[in-house]
Structure 1
Amino acid sequence: MNERLRLAMTKRGVSPEALAAACEVDPKTVGRWLAGRLPHPRHRWTASELLRADATEIWPQSTAAPAVSAGPDALVAATYANRASVPRDLWLRLLEHAERHVDVLVYSGTFFAQSNPHVAEMLATRARHGAQVRLCFADPMGQAVARRDQEEELDGTMAAKIRASLTYYRPLLGQDRCEVRLHDATVYASLFRYDDELLANPHIWGQPASANPLLHLRRAPARGWFDHYAASFDAVWTAARPWDGTTARTSKE
């Protein structure tokens, strides 16, 4: 019996039928959750929102699986069939606990802000607590964006998506330990690094990043996958230009 779930439902006055309706499942499925079955990540997130409770507290077993070794140089904490399957509470937990590094490498990264309207505030908080925040988006005027737009058959809309995404991060400009840059590089994987944990979202040609697999990596004692991805971020970051707050072009140094 999942007593945590039952107590959360009782506290908020949510019946099994109401929870089933919110999650778009049969009430019998909620009964199985109460009996101890672990729901799908998207259902855990919907339920936690409705119950105003932390999903990891209701279902602690969802984060209990240890990292598995994929060889002497890699620790894979989890794999996901696509980025959309990654639980939102994982994104939040990794960001909230970052103490030294928050690195993001994307083309547009639209979901990163739209799924978390407080992302800029949270990033600023991590910076105030000592973390170095580095956000690297594609230059909407660059050749890499034009090429990616063509590959995904987006009819010229990728540049607009990037400009819209950048507006969320204007409050970070000028803040200590926060920097936003624009790159003109081919990104083979979107990267999200939080200290010694990294989410790598490899890109399959012609498909949006959200539909591609995602690896949750942890830094291993020996140099390996984590370090290679971290080094690739540094290489793109070094060649990128600082963003001056406009959405037309990169700033000139």
Structure 2
Amino acid sequence: MKLYPHRAVVPKELWTSLYAKATRHFDLVVYAGFWLSEDPLFFRLIREKAQADVRAAHVGRSRQSRGGPARRRRGYNSLYRADDDLLVNGHVYGVGAYLAPVLHLSQVPGGELFSTYAASIERIWEGSRTLTSPQLENEAAV
């Protein structure tokens, strides 16, 4: 486990390196996630993972995923899972998410912290609803 005092100090390459290695889970559970749109490599990774049958799921308040299905939900944390690694960006009332702390968790045998957040992602996913985009559906058909 590693703790970053703010999301803004998490190394940029950590996000893409974790997701580039993902073979089972590519989960984004965010309130908005607008900052991710600043990295074209991240969008490419989403598409590549979706094409490789990695579950590329974006669950958020209002954003559309560019590769996997997008869904709506409300939550207390933004959760970023890439297989056995998970970044938890805790939401702090009155503070922008970029200034809130981030926990970097790795799944370890017998560990409960990772499993608690992973189970939360599954519950959110099951209780959310799919949003569609004609533009994305047209892109997928090409």
Which residue of 2 is the match for residue 79 of structure 1?
Answer: 3
Give 4+ residue runs of structure 1 displaced > 6 Å after superposition: none
Which residue of 1 is the match for residue 81 of structure 2?
Answer: 193
Which residue of 2 is the match for residue 102 of structure 1?
Answer: 26
Match of 2:94 among 192, 206, 223: 206
**Using the alignment, how far apart are the partners of 1:182 and 1:204 within structure 2?**
20
Structure showing the higher strand proportion among its residues: 2
Give the secondary structure class of the aligned counterpart of 1:190. Answer: strand
Give the secondary structure class of the aligned counterpart of 1:232. Answer: helix
**Using the alignment, how far apart are the partners of 2:25 and 2:31 within structure 1?**
20
Which residue of 2 is the match for residue 93 of structure 1?
Answer: 17
Match of 1:179 among 66, 69, 74: 69
Q: Percent identity?
A: 31
**Using the alignment, how far apart are the partners of 1:124 and 1:228 within structure 2?**
28
RMSD over aligned Cα atoms: 1.5
Which residue of 2 is the match for residue 124 of structure 1?
Answer: 47
Which residue of 2 is the match for residue 235 of structure 1?
Answer: 123
Q: Report matched runs for 1:21-170 at 5 Å.
A: 76=1, 78-114=2-38, 116-138=39-61, 162=62, 165-166=63-64, 169=65
Give the secondary structure class of the aligned counterpart of 2:53. Answer: coil
Deviations 1:199-246 (A, max 9, x none): 001111121111100010000211411111111111111111101127
Structure showing the higher helix proportion among its residues: 1
Deviations 1:24-69 (A, max 9, x none): xxxxxxxxxxxxxxxxxxxxxxxxxxxxxxxxxxxxxxxxxxxxxx
Structure 2-normalised TM-score?
0.87
Count of residues paired in the alignment: 134
**Quick one: higher RCO (CA 8 Å, sep 6+), 1 or 2?**
2
Task: Return 5+ residue gaps in structure 1 as ranges.
Answer: 1-75, 139-161, 173-177, 247-253
Task: Return 5+ residue gaps in structure 2 as ranges.
Answer: 135-142
Which residue of 1 is the match for residue 139 of structure 2?
Answer: none
Does structure 1 retain, via aligned residues, the 8 Å contact 2:69–2:132?
no
